[in-house]
Structure 1
Amino acid sequence: MDPKTLAKVKESERNLNIRLETHESSEHPTFWEVTAWMTRTAEYEKMTGKADLPRVWGRKYITTPTAGGMVLVIRNPQSGDTFTTETWGDIPSYDSFVEKVLDRVKESPLDEDFTTLCDEANTVIPAG
């Protein structure tokens, strides 16, 4: 990964309180993968009263260099493989893919996925 992109990743991790896991096959770039995880687990443990919550609030983004901008988005990848597809336009390099992932996470914070997961599990989030 380009040092400028890596610096953006590190800055976004600090500013958005997330962690990014990246994967690019350097010998044969058959696919590109980025997983974004929330790092504020303790707050949600306090909110839900559960002592040991798994790291499930995240999204996995997968594409290939030849996918024509189509990206698989897997929400909550630890609990299932249900995905949606999105069209992101031209993605000429792995670095541009990582930057587009960062843009998506800024536009749609991972907190939104947590609320959805609580709704699906009929879990009530205490106010405050």
Structure 2
Amino acid sequence: MVPLVGYLAVRREVVGWNTSPPDAAESRRIAELIGTYLDQGAWGLSTALEFSPYVSAAEIVQALRQVAGRDGLYFSHLRTQADGITGALEEFLSTARETGVRSVVSHLKVRGARNWGLAP
């Protein structure tokens, strides 16, 4: 068991419940807090994109730059596990490749009979 920084918790600490993209100052503050929490002992970052669809891939990449600089880990619930699963998985893999962060999908599964053949 390892401690992780919850991206949504940090985002809410900075922007509250606002679902709009953070502005430049808010983005810097989010990155700063993630860095601080990693320096205080967190092993990486976690996201629950299925529950926060308004968080963009670009936001996640920016957050993961803090993780990459500290050789941390990234754990994510994909944006969807039903219709759109292949796009959600590609988004996850793309952010991992772009940042070089060691990454893990939490609860990899495919929902809906019509999607069963899409399981990796």
TM range (shorter): under 0.3
Structure with more helix by fraction? 2
Q: TM-score w.r.t. structure 2 length?
A: 0.25
Structure number with greater Rg is 1
Q: TM-score w.r.t. structure 1 length?
A: 0.24
